[in-house]
Amino acid sequence: MRSHRQGPSLLHLDSSASGGDSVTRQLTARYADIWRCLHGSAGYRYRDLAAEPVPLVSPAFVSLGVRVERHGMVPLHKVAELAADPAERHEWALTLPLIAEMRAASTVLIGVPMYNFSVPAALKAWIDRVTFPGAFVDEGTGDRLLRETTVVVVTARGGCYAPGTPREGFDFQTPYLSAYFTDLGVAPENLHFVHAEMTRAGDVPALARFTPLAADSLSSARSAVTELARLPAAGRAAARTPEKTTARTR
Ligand SMILES: Cc1cc2nc3c(=O)[nH]c(=O)nc-3n(C[C@H](O)[C@H](O)[C@H](O)COP(=O)(O)O)c2cc1C
């Protein structure tokens, strides 16, 4: 199975357990609104990983994956033939649509709240399932299929993890997602992070003094998201600099 991209397409994933007041949801919605204005709705796909969780991988998912790995390069349309029982067929039926969406997307936009210094379990469940052996490698040529895919990760954190701050080393979101997507084949220049920080300053008395910092961070994140959404796909890599695409409090 190959991806058949007909013009720009956006896969938009949210993973916040919060609803309307979620910072990541607001920022990804802003990106998606601008993107749809520019490119239309035909290529737009939305998944709310918190509202409709991707099932955790099961023993049958693992056994099917191991069998596929033992066969070497297995085209996606032949994986079903390797399923040994109904449980493995069920796992594959849950997994293939997610892989197909990812392969079809020219841009993947992900809202990622920081939960306990890392990513929400809802997003991790999607990552574990979509990362099926060989899913993003061309079965004919061995080429990495996501090399041209743009990935925009929009995070929100209650605290601040910017370089030079006391909690810099506690940020396991950015290094994890950076390693994950580049290992999956996304070119580093096509991977963008936007961070809104100190989002809890308005709720937590101990953080109240950081309210101006929070407002600045959110404003920078809005600008960064707007800028990224407006860039033509081909111009993204060339235009990228850390300053342009990473909004932080400092
Ligand atoms: C379960 C949970 C765990 C959290 N863990 C952290 C954390 O480790 N560090 C942090 O800075 N904020 C943490 N927060 C605060 C969120 O990162 C913050 O509220 C952020 O704005 C959430 O994104 P959202 O507004 O899109 O829901 C946590 C919030 C929740 C609900």
DSSP annotation string for 9-71 = -EEEEE--S--TT-HHHHHHHHHHHHHHHHH-STTEEEEETTTSPPPPP-HHHHHHHHHHHHH
* Distance from the alpha carbon of residue 22 to the mean position of ligand 1, in angstroms: 10
Atom of ligand 1 nearest to the CA of 120: 1
* Distance from the alpha carbon of residue 10 to the mean position of ligand 1, in angstroms: 25
- Among 28, 116, 165, the mutation site with the greatest number of ligand 1 atoms within 8 A of its Cβ is 116
Could you give the C-alpha distances from 249 to 129, 161, 191, 200, 212, in angstroms and in order?
Answer: 34, 9, 20, 13, 9
* Distance from the alpha carbon of residue 23 to the mean position of ligand 1, in angstroms: 10
Torsion, Cα 3 4 8 9, to 10 degrees, reads -60
Torsion, Cα 161 102 9 21, to 10 degrees, reads -40
**Nearest one of 245, 235, 145 to 187, comparing CA atoms:** 145
* Distance from the alpha carbon of residue 89 to the mean position of ligand 1, in angstroms: 36
* Distance from the alpha carbon of residue 90 to the mean position of ligand 1, in angstroms: 33
| Cα gap 68→134, rounded to integer Å | 8
Structure tokens at 71: 């066969």
Instruction: State the distance between the two ends of the chain, measured CA to CA, in whole angstroms.
Output: 44
CATH number of 10-245: 3.40.50.360
For ligand 1, residues with CB inside 6 Å are: 16, 18, 22-25, 113-117, 156-159, 199-200
Q: What is the pLDDT along the chain (250 residues), one digit of tens a residue?
A: 445 556 899 999 999 999 889 999 999 999 999 999 999 999 999 999 999 999 999 999 999 999 999 998 899 999 999 999 999 999 999 999 999 999 999 999 999 999 999 999 999 999 999 999 999 999 889 899 999 999 999 999 999 999 999 999 999 999 999 999 999 999 999 999 999 999 999 999 999 999 999 999 999 999 999 999 998 764 444 344 333 344 554 3
Domain limits, the chain: 10-245
DSSP annotation of 224:
H
